Amino acid sequence: MLTAEIRSRFLDHFAARGHTVVPSAPLPTPDPTLLFVNAGMVPFKPYLTGEAPAPWPRATSVQKCVRTLDIEEVGRTTRHGSFFQMNGNFSFGDYFKEEAIALAWELSTTPTADGGYGLDPGRIWVTVHHTDEESAALWRRTAGLPEARIVRRGDEDNFWSMGVPGPCGPCSEMFYDRGPAFGAGGGPEADEDRFMEFWNLVFMQYERGEGPGKSGYPLLGELPRRNIDTGMGLERMATLLQNADNLYETDETRPVLDRAAALAGLTYGRDPEADIRLRVVADHVRTALMLLADGTAPANEGRGYVLRRILRRAVRAMRLLGHEDPALPELLPVARDRMAPGHPEVAGEFARISQQAYAEEDAFRSTLKQGTTVLDTAISHIRAEGGRSLPGESAFLLHDTYGFPLDLTLEMAAEQGVEVDREGFTALMTAQRERARADARARKSGSAGATALTGAYRTVLDAHGPTDWRAHDTLSTDSTVQAVLGADGPLPVAGEGGIVTVVLDRTPFYAESGGQESDAGHLTAASAEAEVLDVQRPLPGLVVHRVRVTAGELAPGDTVRAAVDPEWRLGARQAHSGTHVLHAALRQVLGPAALQSGSYNRPGHLRLDFPWRGPLGTATRAAIEQTAARALRGDLPVGVRWMPLTEARELGALALFGETYGERVRVVEIGGAWSRELCGGTHVEHAAQIGVIALTGESSVGAGTRRLEAAVGIEGFGYLARERDLVAQLCEQLQAPSAELPDRVAALLERLKAADRQTAALRERATLARAADLAAGAADVHGISTVTATVTADGEPGTDARALAAATRDRLPARRPGVIAIGTVAGSRATLVLSVNEAARQAGHSASALVKLLLEGKGGGTDGTAQGGGITPDRLTAVLHDLPHALTRD
């Protein structure tokens, strides 16, 4: 049974039993504790924790998930991958243990001809928490399981919580016996390779208090509404139903693995080490495809860094398998074809996906060359010093800066007969992981209610309900202050000059989201004034205002007039609509691959990020700007419609990455289908109200990602006026019409280059002349031709100390040891350059050692040339005078 059918049977089974089918959320999640959705329950977390009421009593989904905490173990174990899909059914205070167990057993054991998975009931084992006799009894009664196949386990295995105070409860896991070929008998306790877990049923019925993550915390009592959260691993079930050895050999992954093996000229199953690398490639290519499809772009931090690391590991693995050519153009289309039946977006967005992936591979291949050069240089130094081991710090630098995994460094070092300090490398990696885990723990605890302010937000929301948000309807409301919050929680009053957070029962202020900055404005009470500095949504349904009290005192219960600055809102609307127009123009000129991956807009300014390889060029930018201008000149109508998410997708509305959408979405159209996007921002009524969109810059913000910036509205007209004035000034200074400016400026630049070349030639001749004089006047110090001189860094010919030292050295007799010391004075600072010829080096003299000796450890370089600084001109004079003595001590 193919994975796509396993998925559809799951959803059909639960839909037929009253569950609402909920589409998978995008992998990037707004949850501040996570980079990506890492479990099927994450999108339902607000409903399971009681932060928000559930829209349905029961639901089902197949959720995309990514886990990368132990990415180095991918391919080494056969049960875990970095990307996986979690089939889940959820009850929000509706059914509980009995129905959850019955539903899971029914789907698992119903014959395939009748819509089930057809698993042999006699080979299913379950585990329950050792205190959960109710579940054990249900398994005996509902499924007919004998006591011998019901295993009792402790908190570590069969009690679930999020690791922080909140809902928790026992869980029950289902395992399938794959037979003696996979390991020893005796149930899950004996061998979890043979007895593969495929379904976990979590019974949320208690509230836990503070304490360690897995056990040792107090249970505070029963939840008012008990919930069900289950997760059936789609890849695990595919492994079972396809009689595959492991999840890498199922229908969605094995074709990528086979193509990688063919490219490398290998046969899977013959070499254990090669098999691990092939599994890494198969897993990582699929994971990268899904992350790119959901809008994650390669970057140097956060989600983008995770994606970059996954892509680079795949490319490195192919290199270690012996494939030197670009691999992703061969592998990514295979992953697309296998994933498209369940995730059609990977096919629809493949132009953009492939462009970003291939650009990242090209960039990394270049980086790989740089890293190889760094490694070769480090090994050369080690050999020169008589060593045979690469320090752990060097291996870690290659890993952390150049993306070299340890196995690649080990392989390349071994080729040159050098070992690697693995213990030192491991210690540095362990320290880095501990820092990352500590950061994750801090983020997790911070977002789970440990801060007083977060708790205060929840208290206000529980007491008063969601904010009546009217930003789309009006610029002012009469509102009541529900709470005034300081850094540590509620305040009875905020006095003049205080900066506090205010919660209102209703508000006209737009809260920052979707790339649009929050509104500015004022709160006016009978005896108080406050300036609104920022507006945010810390919890679903709650809008809060960061304000500065400019007069009087503000307290809970006060009636205020909340008013948005109309000029600010107008500018914000122009900028946000301008972003939509520029996005549509960009796609019209460059094609559908140029899909917005990030944006920011505020009054008068917008920026838009999109995947693209290389600069756009003047002509392309002009075409984009002109396409946008035509939309403004045509005064395209701007319309807003609410509709189900499925209908919006059928219409072709663009769902932008990093945003979270509900079942009903707001679609903003400019000129109908010309621009149609899901958006919650504020907009103009007609395109002409934007005024003007003037591109002000284009830049790179990472490999394969470009950024356009533009001035909008009155600020856009101001930008164009300044550009016009600048051109007029240049025309006046150069005495040329504007059309001739490029040629005039090009001619001036060529004249400057010619003058620079002439100056460089003069400086070189002057340096050579002075070098000849210095060489002729060399002193004999213990059989060494010694030259000392001082130059002033005033830009005059002959003052390049390194060039002068090298030229003087070359004019000394080749067979006689020679040492040249040139000091440079620049104001109150001085530097020293020291050079020795080959004869001096053979006699045991080193420029680097001499500089360190003369400057008391400062400076460094090679045996031939070295440099040091940080001294005064007086000290330089003494150093040059001390050179003859240093030669006897070197």
Residue 779 CA to residue 777 CA, distance in Å, equals 6
Evaluate whether 403 touches 312 at the Cβ level (below 8 Å).
yes
Averaged pLDDT, 684-688? 96
Query: Who wins on pLDDT, 423 or 414?
Result: 423
**Annotated binding residue at 472?**
no
Averaged pLDDT, 611-625? 90
**Annotated binding residue at 576?**
yes
Q: Which fold has domain 764-889?
A: Diaminopimelate Epimerase; Chain A, domain 1 (3.10.310)
Give pLDDT tens digits for 29-45.
Answer: 877 678 899 999 988 98
Token digits of residue 539 = 């919890």
Residue 43 CA to residue 406 CA, distance in Å, equals 36
Closest CA to 554 of 592, 526, 589: 526
Least confident of 509-513, 530-534, 802-806: 802-806
Give pLDDT tens digits for 311-336.
Answer: 988 998 998 899 999 999 999 999 99
Residue 3 CA to residue 118 CA, distance in Å, equals 15
Write the burial class of residue 409 (CB in 10 Å: 0-12 exposed, 13-18 middle, 19+ buried).
buried
Closest CA to 849 of 825, 805, 873, 883: 883
Output the pLDDT for position 447.
39
Rounded mean pLDDT of the chain? 89
Token digits of residue 501 = 């957070």
Residue 832 CA to residue 827 CA, distance in Å, equals 14
Give pLDDT tens digits for 112-144.
Answer: 999 999 999 999 999 999 999 999 999 999 999
Closest CA to 693 of 634, 596, 625, 630: 625
Give pLDDT tens digits for 158-182.
Answer: 999 877 788 899 999 999 999 999 9
Give pLDDT tens digits for 70-127.
Answer: 677 788 876 678 999 999 999 999 999 999 999 999 999 999 999 999 999 999 999 9
Closest CA to 83 of 314, 408, 260: 314
State the DSSP H helix or E strand holding residue 468, giving kind and residue range, or none if neither: strand 468-469
Give the number of other CB atoms < 10 A from CB of residue 548: 15
**Annotated binding residue at 580?**
yes
Output the pLDDT for position 425.
82
CA dihedral 454, 459, 464, 470 (to 10 degrees): 0
3-state secondary structure at position 233: strand
Least confident of 214-218, 231-235, 354-358, 524-528: 214-218
At residue 276, does pLDDT exceed 50?
A: yes
The CATH class of the 3-249 domain is alpha beta
Sequence-ordered list of residues with C-beta below 8 angstroms from that of 435, at least 6 positions apart, any chain: none
What phi-psi label fits residue 691: left (phi over 0), alpha (psi between -120 and 50 degrees) or beta?
Answer: left
- Longest pairwise C-alpha distance within the chain: 106
Q: Which fold has domain 453-564?
A: Elongation Factor Tu (Ef-tu); domain 3 (2.40.30)
Residue 9 CA to residue 14 CA, distance in Å, equals 9
Output the pLDDT for position 379.
85
Same topology between domain 569-723 and domain 764-889? no
Give pLDDT tens digits for 279-319.
Answer: 999 999 999 999 999 888 887 678 888 898 899 889 989 98
Residue 553 CA to residue 536 CA, distance in Å, equals 22
Residue 41 CA to residue 33 CA, distance in Å, equals 14
Closest CA to 785 of 821, 820, 761: 820
3-state secondary structure at position 658: coil
Secondary structure string (H, E, C) spanning 73-87: HECCECCCCCEEEEE
Residues in the chain: 890
Residue 597: HSE in the Cβ half-sphere, 13 Å Cα cutoff = 29
CA dihedral 561, 567, 571, 576 (to 10 degrees): 20
Output the pLDDT for position 646.
80
At residue 202, does pLDDT exceed 70?
A: yes
Q: How far is Cα of residue 517 from the mean position of the Cα atoms in its chain?
A: 22
**Distance, first Cα to last Cα, the chain:** 78
Evaluate whether 204 touches 226 at the Cβ level (below 8 Å).
yes
**Annotated binding residue at 545?**
no
As a CATH number, domain 569-723 is 3.30.980.10
Sign of CA dihedral 596, 600, 605, 607: negative
- pLDDT-derived band at 691, boundaries 50, 70, 90: very high
Give pLDDT tens digits for 629-678.
Answer: 999 999 999 999 999 888 888 888 887 654 556 678 899 999 999 999 99
Residue 642: HSE in the Cβ half-sphere, 13 Å Cα cutoff = 5
Output the pLDDT for position 574.
97
State the DSSP H helix or E strand holding residue 628, giving kind and residue range, or none if neither: helix 618-633
Output the pLDDT for position 213.
66
The long-range contacts involving 715-719, CB below 8 angstroms and separated by at least 24 positions, are 715/571, 715/603, 715/604, 715/605, 716/604, 716/691, 716/692, 717/691, 717/692, 719/694
- Helices in 777-800 by DSSP H: which ranges? none
Averaged pLDDT, 686-690? 96
Residue carrying the six token digits 């060489």? 775
Give the number of other CB atoms < 10 A from CB of residue 591: 12
Residue 376 CA to residue 417 CA, distance in Å, equals 12
Closest CA to 819 of 803, 805, 802: 805
3-state secondary structure at position 744: helix
3-state secondary structure at position 809: helix
Evaluate whether 87 touches 297 at the Cβ level (below 8 Å).
no
Give pLDDT tens digits for 224-263.
Answer: 889 999 999 999 999 999 999 989 999 999 999 999 999 9
Output the pLDDT for position 436.
55
Give pLDDT tens digits for 441-469.
Answer: 454 444 333 345 778 898 899 899 999 99
Secondary structure string (H, E, C) spanning 2-61: CHHHHHHHHHHHHHCCCCEECCCCCCECCCCCCCECCCCCHHHHHHHCCCCCCCCCEEEE
Give the number of other CB atoms < 10 A from CB of residue 781: 16
Domain ranges for the chain: 3-249, 254-364, 388-450, 453-564, 569-723, 764-889
At residue 733, does pLDDT exceed 70?
A: yes
Distances (CA, A) of 169 to 54, 150, 163: 19, 18, 12
Sign of CA dihedral 396, 397, 401, 405: negative
